[in-house]
Structure 1
Amino acid sequence: MKALWLLLFCFSSPLWACLHASHGIHGMVMLQVENQLIASHLPFPAGKHAHQIVLRISSDMPELVLHALKEKALVTLEPQPFALKDLQQGKLMSFNAQVYLGHFERGGQEAGTVTVQVQQKLLDKAVGEVAEQDGVYRIQLGQGELLVKAIAGEGAVDEILYQAKGKAAEQLYFESADFAPEAK
């Protein structure tokens, strides 16, 4: 009887791990700032996706994607499903993702599959947390800073700007944070 319970536990443990409340597809917008690749989790105002997470990443991107990033075109990642808590806790340091020119849930064009390596977590805040200054999280980079608007909840926007030292802020990404995904 003990052997049966042990066998059942061994087979159900991986399944249980996959069923964690934060497990799912955690789409990301990708940016190129100061010759660095930045990925920002596409949050929802509530639920398992209600986290603003910004990462410095590395990956061998297709030339078409690198060109789009230089032109500041919208590029998104559709990672294989994972538990967001694993990313937050530093347990997930790489993942495979489909890259899209445009929004992966809104008719974006597939541009290849890549392996993404997480180099550094730059921001990890729950939606609704109050940012330190003017509703903006400031992330220092080499020659400037990323300005990430804190998402307060329903009706908010997901906005990321870059401000080089001594220059005006430049908008890199802007979208309603409570969008409803559309079928591809």
Structure 2
Amino acid sequence: MTYVIDSFRLLNHRIKEMLAMKALWLMLFCMSSPLWACLHASHGIHGMVLLQVENQLIASHLPFPAGKHAHQIVLQVSSDMPASVAQALKEKRLVTLEPQPFALKDLQQGKLKSFNAQVYLGHFERGGQDAGTVTVQVQQKLLDKAVGAVAEQNGVYHIPLKQGELLVKAISGEGAVDEILYQTKGKTAEQLYFESADFAPQEK
């Protein structure tokens, strides 16, 4: 009888050790930021339009009206762009980025300092020409607003730059447009980007 009790205790002890080991591995898994980021709901491909304003690069997240992409985020960035892309930006032609997947929350919280991306002449989801892979350095976050947030003035977010300001239209939801303009003091605002298809379900 004593032998049976001792065997039962030994088995019970080993089971507890196994459970403790599994708990430890689970904790280490959750503490690993690359793996944890992959589990976050905001993880995905966050396309961006790339603009050149006042001799600096501006990247604007391409939002959707709902879900994990429902955020208007504008960044000041830097990168060594291929000659064809640099020329397209100078001519104010459409240039977009298809970054490698990352958690948008990491970008919003300032944890993501750089990312690799395919750069396209045109829209990366609508027949744009792949111009190569680039590394994008995040210099500064200029805007971070949820879709549907109320803008300060006339439905527009004002982002001051050295010589003028970016005017980013606040996106209210389905059927809205993603529009960015640039205005210097005393001059008419110049449209840099205008896109409505991202908000039409049949185009997604």
- TM-score normalised by length of structure 2: 0.85
Q: Give the greater-gyration-radius structure (CA).
A: 2
1:158 to 178, 181, 192: 178
Greater strand content: 1
| 2:137 maps to amino acid | Q
Partners of 2:136 and 2:124 in 1: CA distance: 16
Q: Give 1:179 deviation, angstroms.
A: 4.0
Partners of 1:124 and 1:109 in 2: CA distance: 29
Matched, 1:3 2:21: yes
Counterpart of 1:25?
A: 45
Greater helix content: 2
Partners of 1:158 and 1:70 in 2: CA distance: 21
Q: Give 1:12 deviation, angstroms.
A: 5.9
Q: Give 1:3 deviation, angstroms.
A: 2.5
Q: Give 1:165 deviation, angstroms.
A: 1.6
Q: Give 1:75 deviation, angstroms.
A: 0.1
RMSD value over aligned CA atoms? 1.6
Partners of 1:17 and 1:154 in 2: CA distance: 28
Q: 1:104 to 1:181 in 2, by over 3 A?
A: farther
Counterpart of 2:199?
A: 178
Asked which structure has the greater RCO (Cα within 8 Å, sep 6+), the reply is 1
Q: Give 1:8 deviation, angstroms.
A: 4.3
Partners of 2:75 and 2:42 in 1: CA distance: 18
Q: 1:79 to 1:179 in 2, by over 3 A?
A: farther
Question: Which ranges of structure 1 fall in alignment gaps of 5 or more residues?
Answer: none
Q: Determine if contact 1:31/1:37 at 8 Å carries over to the other structure.
A: yes
- Identity rate of aligned residues, in percent? 81
Partners of 1:181 and 1:77 in 2: CA distance: 22
Aligned length: 183
Q: Give 1:91 deviation, angstroms.
A: 0.4
Q: 1:147 to 1:23 in 2, by over 3 A?
A: same
Q: Determine if contact 1:106/1:182 at 8 Å carries over to the other structure.
A: no
Q: Give 1:19 deviation, angstroms.
A: 1.5
Q: What SS is found at the alignment partner of 2:199?
A: coil
| 2:199 maps to amino acid | D
Partners of 1:32 and 1:46 in 2: CA distance: 28
Q: What SS is found at the alignment partner of 1:129?
A: coil
Map 1:133-152 onto structure 2 (within 5 A): 133-152=153-172
Map 1:70-149 onto structure 2 (within 5 A): 70-149=90-169
Partners of 1:44 and 1:143 in 2: CA distance: 31
